[in-house]
Amino acid sequence: MSMTTGRAQVAGGLKSLSEDETLFRDSVRQFARETIGPLVREMDEHQKMDAGLIRQLFELGLMSIEIPEAYGGQNGTFFESILAVEEISAVDPAIGVLVDVQNTLVVNALLRWGTEQQKRQYLSRLAKDWVGAYALSEAGSGSDAFALQARAEKKGSHYVLNGQKLWITNGKEAELFIVFATADPSAGYKGIHAFLVEKSFPGFTLGKKEDKLGIRASSTCEVILEDCQVPVENLLGEAGKGYKVAIETLNEGRIGIGAQMLGLAQGAWNHAARYAKERRQFGKPIATFQSVQFQIAEMAVDIEAARLMVYNAARLKDAKLDFVKEAAMAKYFTSQVAERVASLAVEVFGGYGFVKDYPVEKFFRDSKIGKIYEGTSNMQLATIAKMVL
């Protein structure tokens, strides 16, 4: 099969789900609405995930979708991970990003770069009860991801890590962190190593937990490394190839963020469309007014286009075809759509949309992060321009 033929076949099946995929999507949707839904407001207000909910995510296999059965996982596909993130995010994007980071970043990095021993040791825990986190960003290293100041020095049977990491999603819940540090600053990005670091390792501590605008139930924490001792066998991938681990994993992760923003937009639209049929003005539902109809229709068009882009990128990834451009496009576009749709949903609700008693206010707050994390919109545009010119 040629590359061109393969891409055409993938594109031809974007919207059609297999029977198994449909059943999976529907079961996740039901769980999200019935189990996550009643907890959303309390978790947002207290900036804390419900511990029982996290246990349920593990029990249902939603934290181990692509982990092979040999390690206790579900042996599913990347596309199924994307479906899960989308459906959960339609109810609560904060829980959606927990599931996203676990599956598209941490698990995928281990599947691609881990040794057999690392997979046996860590994938089995990630499938059972360990949350994972991805620690790349630093105070002076955001879009310039490889301007790392964290240092790694090999001393006998251990590496010793020193430095600070910021904006680490799942920081409070995680037991395993993929940490990036520079062993040879003179080598530039080729001096970066990736490490599997357990929260219990000596010298590892959590710092400040951020007080955020949106996705407040999702913990975003500082990680402090003070002579943190990491066994040599916990080097992930080859020495000096940490940049490859970071770049290639983030390419996949951007599809996950696209799915989160897609789900968010769909959730906001669901509420707006329903409210427009319930709210009466001038003696009839506001959904009968053409101006409102046009808003609802434009939102639906944007969501449909976003879904096609996310599904396309995910299908390409599963088919082992090039997807970097499509992932950047999906992440860029869905973050634009999520913010626009959530904003319009607030307007459909009018004054009620501006108060916390109704759900669209939270979707609007949650939407802003989509343009920022796992590569800002400007960085996605730079990637897209590089690949299309």
- The whole-angstrom separation of Cα 213 and Cα 216 is 7
Count CB atoms within 10 A of the CB of residue 386: 11
Length of the chain: 389
Residue among 155, 141, 126, 130 at smallest CA distance from 65: 126
Identify the three-state secondary structure at position 321: coil
Bridge pairing between strands 131-135 and 174-182: parallel
Q: Which helix (H) or strand (E) holds 208?
A: strand 204-209
Here the tokens at position 63 are 């934290």
Here the tokens at position 45 are 């207000």
Which residue is it, tokens 């995929």?
21
- Strand segments (E) across 279-354: 280-281, 284-285
Q: Which of 222, 326, 361, 374 is catalytic?
A: 374
Query: Kindly report the CA angle at 172 between 166 and 174, in degrees rounded to 5?
Result: 100
Query: Kindly report the CA angle at 335 between 332 and 340, in degrees rounded to 5?
Result: 125
Decide: 287 and 296 in contact? Cβ < 8 Å: yes
Q: Max CA-CA distance within the chain?
A: 79
Residue 69 a catalytic site member: no
- The whole-angstrom separation of Cα 187 and Cα 184 is 6
Count CB atoms within 10 A of the CB of residue 122: 24
Identify the three-state secondary structure at position 138: strand
CA atoms lying within 13 Å on the CB side of residue 338? 33
Q: How far apart are the first and last CA of the chain?
A: 26
Count CB atoms within 10 A of the CB of residue 228: 24
Q: Which helix (H) or strand (E) holds 206?
A: strand 204-209
The catalytic site residues sit at: 374
